[in-house]
Amino acid sequence: RDLETVLQQALESNQFELYYQPQVDTITEQVVGFEALLRWHHPERGLVSPVEFIPLAEETGMIVPIGEWVLRQACKDAASWPADIGVAVNLSPLQFKSQTLAHTVVSALGDAGLPASRLELEITESVLLTDNDTALATLHHIRSLGVRIAMDDFGTGYSSLSYLRLFPFDKIKIDQSFIRELGNSKDCAAIVKAVVDLGASLGITTTAEGVETSDQLNRVREQGCSEIQGYLFGKPLPISSVHELLKRHS
């Protein structure tokens, strides 16, 4: 069977599941939200990483219905969490091509009963690389609903700075590669500091990704990152563990 059929059947037979990774306030160390991360329970191969199947879903176009499922499921899950806890969803460039994305977002929020302010959408610069007039218009429309837009994997692309001029992002997520080297590289520390300061002067908050040690936490806190995400506070968790964690949230 071709890939498209396999992914279609995976979707129809509920083989996809969302895991959630905590996002934590750097100062209070309280959970403020979760990033939804897709998992595929393949009947023969077991748990398949999105690194393996997202590219295939993009090639076949199946990322559009799969992405819609992710958005709807994440909004439904988040609607049962405390009102101060948000949810972040990753979007692929192809989801902007369908021209129905803004409508899908409105519909997902409405069906779940989730206020727009609790949803954040993460995009990489590749969304703005091609056909950026349509993508930009869609992004503006979605942001006008009150949904926040985050730039993911910041610093790894070709011209991240010019994208900050193209669109009023609400959040910058500093790529893990910079955080990993924080303790060993003065240059990485200087880059993280510069991104935080740049964000602050543009009114954009910053999240440090891939924080694994308390030394890294201390460093990004000193540099003024407002949130962190990483194994130090938690790996991506199944929804049952999210509910356990939230029981302790006050």
Q: At residue 231, what is the residue type?
A: Y
Q: Shortest distance, CB of residue 153 to Na ion, whole angstroms?
A: 4
Residue from 22, 72, 236, 242 in contact with ligand G (CB under 6 A) = 236
Stretch that binds ligand G, among 40-48, 86-94, 109-117, 181-189 (CB under 6 A): 86-94
One symbol per residue from 199 to 218: x for binding ligand G (CB under 6 A), - otherwise; what is it?
A: ----------xxxx------
* Residue 152 interacting with ligand G (CB under 6 A): yes
**Which of 88, 109 has the CB closer to Na ion?**
88
Tell me how many degrees the CA angle 246-34-158 measures, rounded to the nearest 5: 165
Non-local (6+) Cβ contacts of 191 within 8 A are 155, 178
Told to check if 122 binds Mn ion by CB under 5 A, we report yes
Give residues 157-186 in contact with Na ion (rule: CB under 5 A).
173
Q: 3 contacts which partner out of Mn ion, Na ion, ligand G, none, CB within 5 to 8 A by kind? A: none
- Residue 60 in contact with ligand G, rule: CB under 6 A: no
Residue with Cβ nearer ligand G (21 or 206): 21
Does 181 help bind ligand G (rule: CB under 6 A)? no
Stretch that binds ligand G, among 84-92, 130-138, 161-169, 240-248 (CB under 6 A): 84-92
Binding site for ligand G (CB under 6 A): 21, 37-38, 49-51, 54, 67, 70, 90-92, 152-153, 176, 209-212, 229-231, 236
Binding site for Mn ion (CB under 5 A): 90, 122, 152
